[in-house]
Amino acid sequence: MMTLRVNGYEYEVDAEPDTPLLYVLRDDLKLNAAKYGCGLGQCGACTVMVDGKAVLSCVTPLVLLEGKRVTTLEGLGTVSEPAPIQRAFMEEQAAQCGYCIAGMMMRAQALLQRNPKASDDDIRAELAPHLCRCGTHMRILRAVHRAARLMDTAELSPSDQRGAQ
């Protein structure tokens, strides 16, 4: 048993210590957003935040997460109360199949928390570990820019504060 802190809640997790975080999130905690794409850290679909930094959950074993704060897309907001990054992706219609999108959003969120004034070059460089096969890249870039503007202008809502943990 290990205590894992995800989206502000503490969970007692009964999984072997070498279990990648991805499987704990999806299988034990029944969270959907982080996706299995390669299990090799090559595609970015599994990205979540750990202590505010983007992390590839498919290659991060549970044992390394003791005492750390994990944030997934679910922790940022909901359909009715979306976080700025979620609102931005909806407003830009920045998805086709959408399978890669949750991972993209988490890395973008981590970037914008760290650097609210990220330039286009910063965003492109930051998203380099992420693959999108549908070719939605132009919209993803627009959505991240929009999210930066929304974060800049909007007052922090409770959901944002959760996300910023």
For other proteins, the binding residues (CB under 8 A) are: 15-16, 19-20, 23, 26-28, 30-33, 35-40, 42-43, 45, 72-74, 77-79, 82, 86, 89-90, 93, 95-102, 105, 124-125, 127-128, 130-139, 141
| Closer residue to other proteins, CB minimum distance, 64 or 138 | 138
| 46: nearest Cα among 113, 99, 124 | 99
Smallest gap, in angstroms, from Cβ of residue 71 to other proteins? 11
Could you tell me the smallest distance in angstroms from the CB atom of residue 50 to other proteins? 17
Measured from the CB atom, the residue of 55 and 89 that comes closer to other proteins is 89
54 to each of 31, 107, 108, how far by Cα in Å? 17, 5, 8
Q: Please, which residues have CB within 8 angstroms of residue 30's CB and are 6 or more apart in sequence?
A: none
Cβ-based nearer residue to other proteins, 66 or 81: 81
Question: What is the nearest approach in angstroms of other proteins to the Cβ of residue 42?
Answer: 4
Give the DSSP letter string of 31-99. Answer: --SS--S-SSSSS-TTEEEETTEEEEGGG-BGGGGTT-EEE-GGGT--SSS--HHHHHHHHTT--SS-T
Residue 64 or 125 with smaller CB distance to other proteins: 125
CB of 17 to other proteins, least distance (A): 11
Taking the C-alpha atoms of residue 140 and residue 116, their distance in angstroms, rounded to an integer, is 17
Structure token digits, residue 164 = 């910023």
Report in angstroms how near the CB of residue 126 gets to other proteins at its nearest. 8
